Amino acid sequence: MGNAYPDFFNLSPSSSGLLLAGLAILVLIPQAHSADLVSQETALKYILKAVAASLEKSQIPKDAISISVMEIDQTRPGKVTAKTELDWRSQEAMNPASTMKLITTLAGLDVLGPQYSWRTNIYTDGLIRKGTLKGNLYLQGTGDPKLIPEEFAKMMKAIQNLGIQKIDGNLFFDRSAYVPSVMEHNTIDGESLRAYNVPPDPLLYAFRTLSFQLGKSRTADFIDISYTPPLSQLKVINQMQLVNQSCDGWKSNLRFNLEPEGDGTSTNQALTAQFAGNFPDACKGVNYNVVALNANTFLTQGFAASWELAGGTWAQAPTGKSGAVPLAARLLLQFVGIPLADDVQDINKFSNNVMARQLMLTLALEKMGKPATTENGELVIQSWLKGLDLQFPELVIENGSGLSRNEAVSAEHLTQLLVAARNLSVADTFYNSLPIAGTDGTMRHRLMGHLRKFLHLKKKPEARIKTGSLADVRAISGYVMSKSGKMYAVSSFINHPNAGKGLEAHDQLLAWLLDDGPEPKQAR
C-alpha cells in the first residue's frame, strides 16, 4: 500500500494546494479506505509550512527529524495534564545530544532536592601548634561540580579560622568516591584538550580548565593576557603582535604552548604558557580555554595559589599526590559547596558536560554507595522514572550529559518528561534553569528577531529551551509560553549529516508556538 500522507517535506513554498498562507499549518488527514488509517484520525499529524521549507532548503530529509509538541493544561490544581498538538516520528529513538541533560538534572533535583550540596572533606594526620599545622592535608571529594576559585577562597578562610596560618606537610587527594574507569579521559572526537571533554573527578577543580583572557590594552598598543584559576607555579610569556584585522578567526593566528620547566613529573614544577602569533586589534576581549595539565598538578597548584592568596604559607611547597585518607586521620573541615539548584542552572543554561556527568554519578553515590558508576547512575534514573509512571524502553543513558554517540530517547518521551515535571515540587526550579530565548545561555542569540514582535505586549511570550548539538545532531527541548498564555512542551531532534543547518527549522518551530500555532484545521 502506498503512503497515505502527502510528502509535505518536499513541497516548495509555492505549492498552495495543501498549504495555508503565512505561518499556517499543514494538516495530514489519513485516507478513509484503510481501517488502520481511519483509527489515526484522532491524532492529526501536521507541521508548520516554514519548518518544512527550511528542512528542504537545508537538504534534511523528512525521516531525519522527530517532533513532539504537547499543550500543557495547568487549570486543575495539583494535576497537570497535556494533549498532543504535533507529532512527527515522535516515537523514534534518536540521539538527543545535550537535551539529555534535562533527564539528568530533573532527576537530580527531584531525588536529591534543590538544596542538596556536595561536601569536600579535609582530613589531617597532624596537629595544630602555634598557627602551624604539622602534618599532611587529605582532600576527599564527593564530586562537587563547581569547586571554583571563589569556593576555594572560602575554603582557605575556613581553614584559617581553625587557627592555621602555615602548613608543614603535603597534600593528598582521595578520589575513592568514583570508580577509576569514569575518570579516564576518553573522548568521542579526539579533542582531549577541549574543556567540553573534561572527565569526571571527585575533586574537580575549576573544571580542570585554564582560561586565558586576551585583549588589547586600554593604555597602550600591546596585548594583555590574564588567566584563571590562579596557579602557584605558572608564568605567561607573551610574544604576540597586534595587527589591524577583524576579530573573526582570531584563533587561526595564535600559537600556544604549555610546558613544565623540568621533566614534568612533579606537581609543583614551574609551568610556562607561551603565546605567539598575531592578535587582531579589533578583538575587545576573548577567551582561550585549554585542558593541558593532569588532575593532580592542576589541583595542587590551584590549592597552593589559593592558600597563598589568602595569606597562608607553606613550610615547603606541596607536591600533591593521590592517596586514600588514613584510618588514623581526623576530620579537620567539611566544606559545603553551592546548592544543587544553582549548579543545575549552569548545567542547563550553559550545557556544562562534566557537571551533568558528575550529577549523574552523585545520584549513584547517594543512592547506591561508593564507588559511583555510570551504570548505577542509570539504574537510579530508571527507577525514578518508573516511580513517576514513565516507561521509556528506548532510553539509553551512557553518561547523562548527551556527549555521546550512544545515548538515545524519543521526542515523545522527553516531552512527556517535561509535562510530568510540572507536577513535581521542583517544577519552577527546573523551568527557571532553562536558557531563555534572546536572553541567556545557549539560547541568548536565538529568536531575537521574532521576539521583537511582542515588545508591545504587557506579558511577553517566552521560550525556555535546552539545546543540543553534536557533529550530526541538533536538538531542542523545553517550554514555550505563547502570546496568548498557553504553555507548550516541545522536543525535536535532527539526526543527519546536515543537522548543523537545522537551526533555522527549529527556530521556525519555536516561533510558530510563540504565535499560538497549533490550531488544527481541515485541509481542503
Residue-range domain boundaries for the chain: 50-114+341-514, 117-339
Q: Which is nearest to 399 in space by CA: 344, 357, 432?
A: 357
Q: Which residues of 247-266 are buried (b: 16+ CB within 10 A; e: fewer)?
A: eeebeeebeeeeebeeeeee
How far apart are alpha carbons 247 and 111 in whole angstroms? 45
Residue 90: exposure state from Cβ atoms within 10 A (0-12, 13-18, ≥19): buried
Instruction: For residue 437, count CB atoms less than 10 angstroms from its CB and return exposed for 0-12, middle for 13-18, buried for 19 or more.
Output: buried
Residue 452, classed as helix, strand or coil, is helix
Q: Which amino acid is at 460?
A: K
**Quick one: pLDDT at residue 497?**
97
Task: Examine the pLDDT at 410 and tell me if it is beyond 70.
Answer: yes
Cβ atoms of residues 360 and 377 within 8 Å: yes
The grid coordinates of residue 403 equal 556527549
HEC readout, 269-286: CCEEEEEEEEEECCCCCE
Which DSSP letter does residue 509 get?
H
Residue 192: count of CB within 10 angstroms of its CB: 13
Residue 504: enclosing H or E segment and its boundaries? helix 503-514
Cα 404 to Cα 407: distance, rounded to the nearest angstrom: 6
Report the distance separating Cα 350 and Cα 99, nearest Å: 12
pLDDT at 310: 98
CATH architecture under which domain 50-114+341-514 falls: 3-Layer(aba) Sandwich (3.40)
Determine the Cα–Cα distance for residues 144 and 161; give it in Å rounded to an integer.
Answer: 22
Q: pLDDT digits over 252-279, tens only?
A: 989 999 988 877 678 888 999 999 999 9
- Residue 306 is placed in which grid cell? 589559593
Given a cut of 80, whether residue 2 has pLDDT beyond it is: no
The tens digit of pLDDT for each residue in 127-153 reads: 999 999 999 999 999 999 999 999 999
Cα gap 67→70, rounded to integer Å? 10
Render pLDDT for 461-513 as a digit per residue (tens, 0 to 9): 999 999 999 999 999 999 999 999 999 999 999 999 999 999 999 999 999 99
Residue 67 DSSP SS3: strand
Residue 47 pLDDT: 63
Residues in the chain: 524
| Segment 346-350 mean pLDDT | 98
Unique residue bearing C-alpha cell 537551526? 503
pLDDT of 222: 85
Question: Residue 184, SS3?
Answer: coil
Average pLDDT over residues 203-216: 95
Quick check: 346 pLDDT over 80? yes
Q: With bands split at pLDDT 50, 70 and 90, how would you rate the model's confidence at 523?
A: very low
Grade residue 302 by pLDDT with cuts at 50, 70 and 90.
very high
C-alpha cell at 141: 571529594
Cα–chain-centroid distance for residue 92?
24
Distance CA 349, CA 368 (A): 29
Backbone angles phi, psi at 122, to 5 degrees: -120, 120
Tell the residue number behind the cell numbers 548505577, with chain if given. 376
- The answer, yes or no, to whether residue 194 has pLDDT greater than 70, is yes
Distance CA 146, CA 354 (A): 10
pLDDT of residue 500: 96
Compute the radius of gyration of the chain from its Cα atoms.
26
Angle at 496 between CA 491 and CA 501, to 5 degrees: 80
Find, among 174, 430, 466, the residue nearest to 296 by Cα.
174
Closest CA to 285 of 241, 224, 236, 244: 224
Q: How far apart are alpha carbons 199 and 108 in whole angstroms?
A: 19
In angstroms, rounded to a whole number, what is the distance separating the alpha carbons of residues 110 and 344? 12
Q: Where on the phi/psi map is residue 370: left (φ > 0), alpha (ψ -120 to 50), or beta?
A: beta
CA-to-CA separations, 11 to 50, 55, 511, 517, in angstroms, rounded? 11, 11, 20, 20
Rounded Cα–Cα distance for residues 98 and 89 (Å): 20
Q: Are 70 and 84 in contact (CB under 8 A)?
A: yes
- At 417 the pLDDT is 98
> Using CA atoms, how far apart are residues 500 and 29, in angstroms rounded to an integer?
31
413-441 confidence digits (pLDDT tens):
999 999 999 999 999 999 999 999 999 99
- Tell me which residue has cell 573541615: 333
Helix axes 340-350, 353-368, angle to 10 degrees: 140
DSSP 324: P
| Torsion from C-alpha of 229, 442, 384, 207, nearest 10 degrees | -10
Max Cα distance, the chain (Å)? 92
Q: What is the pTM of this model?
A: 0.89
* Rounded CA separation 349/440 (Å): 7
Mean pLDDT computed over 300-325? 97
Nearest to 47 by CA among 56, 38, 39: 56
